[in-house]
């Protein structure tokens, strides 16, 4: 099967996450609307056979071609979505069907670039495509990816990561951001921003933006910790030192550290900084406040402290963040 260099092949297999499969084609299809002169991508869904495939959502999807038909094709981009199952302990685990792994390895060799969507990174890793590379995936399966494939440097924070011609994307809707990044590489920033507008994605996120935010942290199990979280959010300009928080919670400093580690998996200081950073991100996105005012009202006190936090946590600066994400 000989094809043009604009072929995008999306792998399809039973139990795959539906949005991982349908999201990227929707993004790619809008390119011609925004840039009529651009060469259209040809997107095909490829599976083991041409029989309908039942996704994790229970929706049946009809493949366009088989993996076999693509083995001699010239593929621009191979997109590898993922699938999860629940183990006996009730935890989500990414699945890597051996047949899909084998075809991932075979088709990747025919592809100019390869991109995993969400937990599809586990399939790339199983196929040996991430060895020695930095990669991301959905935050819930990042520990599994790191444990199963020690040759891969797993970073669960970014929206997407590029390592040469291999891209890995974070969870679920991050497939839209990843697809926009691929359009940017092929057709430039203006075209990608136009497609983002068509998708009503006015916040076109960069790969360096974190897939986490403080409101997404697990809800703690005790009233004491919930009270502390609310206290921190309501008092970002206060010192919020470990002794301060320990007094607020009526516990020792050692017990406070143990509570944060057990319930939130972090330290008091790191949580406070994340809360302040989240508040600063919200102000950068929704207000025209100066950096000096944002630093003061979010508890960073100085612009330099604010900038260092953004560089350390988000790999960008407040000014660059505002330029990209302020509507």
Residues 116, 107: Cα–Cα separation, whole Å: 13
Please give the distance of CA 291 from its chain centroid, rounded to a whole number.
Answer: 27
How many beta carbons lie within 10 A of that of residue 105, not counting itself? 15
Closest CA to 231 of 209, 215, 248, 211: 248
- Give dist(CA 236, CA 242) in Å, integer: 14
Cα dihedral 123/124/125/130 (nearest 10): -170
175 has catalytic annotation:
no
The SS3 of residue 224 is helix
| Residue 48 Rama label (left phi>0; alpha psi -120 to 50; beta) | alpha
The tokens for 271 are 């949580």
The one catalytic residue among 11, 53, 56, 118: 118
Q: Do residues 11 and 79 lie in contact, with contact meaning Cβ atoms separated by under 8 Å? A: yes
Asked whether 165 and 9 are in contact (CB, 8 A), the reply is no
Residue 167 near residue 204, CB atoms below 8 Å: no
Beta strands in 165-285 (DSSP E): 166-169
Integer angstrom CA distances of residue 18 from 38, 61, 121, 160: 28, 9, 16, 19
Q: Which residues contact 171 (CB under 8 A, 6 or more apart)?
A: 118, 119, 137, 138, 139, 140, 211
Write out the catalytic residue numbers.
118
């Amino acid at each position: 099967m000989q094809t043009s260099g604009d072929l995008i092949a999306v792998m399809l297999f039973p139990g795959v996450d539906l949005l991982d499969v349908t999201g990227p084609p929707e993004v790619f299809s809008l390119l011609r609307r925004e840039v009529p002169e651009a060469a259209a991508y040809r997107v095909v869904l490829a599976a083991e056979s041409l029989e309908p495939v039942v996704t994790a959502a229970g929706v049946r999807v009809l493949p366009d071609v088989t993996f076999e038909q693509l083995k001699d094709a010239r593929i621009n981009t191979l997109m590898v979505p993922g699938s999860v199952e629940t183990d006996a302990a009730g935890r989500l685990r990414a699945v890597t069907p051996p047949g899909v792994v084998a075809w991932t390895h075979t088709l990747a060799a025919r592809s100019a670039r390869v991109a995993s969507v969400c937990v599809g990174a586990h399939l790339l890793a199983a196929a040996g495509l991430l060895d020695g590379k930095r990669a991301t995936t959905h935050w819930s399966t990042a520990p599994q990816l790191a444990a199963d494939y020690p040759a891969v440097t797993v970073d669960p924070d970014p929206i997407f990561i590029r390592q040469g011609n291999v891209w890995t994307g974070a969870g679920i809707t991050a497939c839209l951001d990843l697809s926009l990044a691929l359009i940017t590489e092929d057709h430039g920033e203006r075209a990608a921003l136009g497609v983002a507008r068509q998708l009503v994605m006015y916040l076109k996120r960069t790969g360096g933006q974190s897939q986490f935010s403080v409101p997404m942290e697990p809800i703690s199990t005790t009233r004491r910790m919930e009270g502390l979280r609310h206290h921190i959010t309501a008092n970002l300009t206060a010192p919020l030192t470990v002794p301060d928080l320990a007094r607020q919670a009526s516990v020792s400093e050692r017990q406070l550290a143990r509570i944060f580690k057990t319930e939130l998996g972090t330290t008091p200081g790191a949580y406070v900084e994340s809360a302040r950073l989240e508040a600063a991100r919200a102000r950068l996105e929704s207000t025209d406040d100066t950096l000096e005012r944002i630093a003061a009202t979010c508890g960073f006190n100085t612009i330099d402290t604010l900038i260092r936090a953004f560089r350390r946590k988000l790999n960008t600066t407040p000014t660059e963040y505002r330029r990209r994400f302020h509507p």
